[in-house]
Amino acid sequence: MIHEVDDVLRSLIRAEVLEGGQIAVVFDAPTREWAAKVNAPMVNLYLYDIREDMRRRERGLHNEYDERGAIVSRRRPPRYFKLSYLITAWTKRPEDEHRLLSSLLACLLAHEALPPERLTGSLADIGAAVPMSIALPPPEDRSFADVWSALGGELKPSLDLVVSVPVTASPTYTAGPPVGDEGLRAHFGDIPPLAEPLRQPMPGRGGLPVYGNHPGRPASAAAAGSTEPRRGLSLRITENRADQDGRTEDPTA
């Protein structure tokens, strides 16, 4: 994923900034030792920080459908990670470096996201936009001077480019079969007797009083060993409607 972003940035800068010029685009760490070996004009994009973009995190699951439109699986939404690049220009004259940085700034400001036509590999397969921002103030917990100090080099004019890359590496959960016409059916009627008696007493049995019952009440016919089937629940629902005079009507009349 990161190397695909590198390829898109390299092709974008070569096409819209350098325009075929003899200037290399590299991704090296601009340390003091590296800077001493630079002997040709180049643009350096150093990836110095990788962290998740919490503002773009989503909750829930995304559905995946088959050709019939049925849900076959679910997966987590993509998570975005911010790739921070330190962009510097390296030439023999500071004026040429400033001119090159100005061209880089104008090019990157013209795009709010990586151009979709330049996306390849997994970035193109995801089909989501890859937003980016250029030259924004650094976070409160980090400054560009600290970055240069960590590299051991001298402070140099630079641009800060942040690319938010979607990552879809997450487990896939297979969905259950779709609900058909046959579902749960319920009916009222006689409850058939148990085929065999309970081998283990259930909670509440064994002479313990049932909630709402009175100890010493005679057992029912079914509990006394009657062979007749137990009757199910029977309900009768009626509706009374009042006419304009306030009299009630019986719908069964």
Looking at per-residue pLDDT, the higher value among 9 and 185 belongs to 9
For residue 33, which of 150, 152, 128 has the smallest C-alpha distance?
152
* pLDDT value at 119 more than 80: yes
* pLDDT value at 52 more than 80: yes
Q: At what angle do helices 94-109 and 2-13 cross, to 10 degrees?
A: 110
Q: What is the mean pLDDT of residues 80-97?
A: 93
* pLDDT value at 201 more than 80: no
Mean pLDDT over all residues of the chain?
Answer: 77
Q: How confident is the model at residue 196 (pLDDT cuts 50, 70, 90)?
A: low
Q: What is the pLDDT of residue 202?
A: 54
Instruction: Summarize pLDDT for 127-158 with one digit per residue, the tens.
Output: 888 999 998 887 766 677 778 788 887 788 99
Q: What is the pLDDT of residue 200?
A: 56
Q: What is the pLDDT of residue 181?
A: 60
* pLDDT value at 221 more than 90: no
Entry pTM: 0.63
Q: What is the mean pLDDT of residues 189-197?
A: 63
Q: How confident is the model at residue 64 (pLDDT cuts 50, 70, 90)?
A: confident
Looking at per-residue pLDDT, the higher value among 71 and 83 belongs to 83
Looking at per-residue pLDDT, the higher value among 1 and 195 belongs to 1
Q: What is the mean pLDDT of residues 203-217?
A: 51
Instruction: Summarize pLDDT for 37-46 with one digit per residue, the tens.
Output: 998 999 999 9
Q: Which domains does the chain have, with CATH numbers?
A: 2-174 (3.30.2000.30)
Q: What is the mean pLDDT of residues 65-92?
A: 84
